[in-house]
């Protein structure tokens, strides 16, 4: 899958589960069309990296990146001010960015089955 056509500015959910995606890029040109996007599910793919522009999706409330091959998150996740559900389980993450602790609305964070030895120091207790 090379290109995804988004036909409506009112799109609130994109689910690309089990598509063997190896690299996901959100083009800045299309971000204006995706400001109503609330849920983005990219689980069960082969993602090894994310473009930092994914964090320009300011209305995102749920981001599912589970069951991929991510080793790190790019800077900028704290721009997702509305994010309340972040699924990162079953990846290869070795550490989490400190800015993750600044997501005040984050209610669910699943980082199980990764290579983490600790969480960011400022993370609130579960």
**Strands 62-64 and 13-15, sheet pairing:** unpaired
Q: What is the pLDDT of residues 76-118, one digit of tens each?
A: 999 999 999 999 999 999 999 999 999 999 999 999 999 998 8
Q: Where are the alpha helices (DSSP H) in the chain?
A: 28-31
The closest alpha carbon to 80, from 59, 99, 53, belongs to: 59
CATH assignment of 13-110, among 3.80.10.10, 3.40.1450.10, 3.40.50.300, 3.20.20.70: 3.80.10.10
Q: Please tell me the pTM assigned to this model.
A: 0.81
Domain ranges of the chain: 13-110
CA distance 38 to 63: 9
Contact (Cβ atoms closer than 8 angstroms) between residue 70 and residue 96: no
């Amino acid at each position: 899958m090379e290109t995804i056509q988004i036909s409506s500015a009112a799109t609130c959910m994109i689910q690309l589960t089990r598509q063997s995606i190896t690299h996901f890029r959100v083009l800045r040109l299309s971000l204006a069309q995706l400001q109503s996007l609330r849920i983005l599910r990219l689980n069960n793919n082969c993602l090894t990296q994310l473009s930092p522009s994914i964090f320009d999706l300011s209305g995102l409330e749920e981001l599912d990146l589970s069951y991929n091959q991510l080793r790190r998150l790019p800077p900028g996740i704290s721009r997702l001010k509305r994010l309340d559900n972040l699924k990162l389980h079953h990846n290869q993450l070795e550490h989490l960015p400190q800015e993750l602790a600044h997501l005040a609305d984050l209610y669910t964070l699943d980082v199980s089955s990764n290579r983490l030895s600790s969480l960011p120091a400022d993370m609130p207790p579960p």
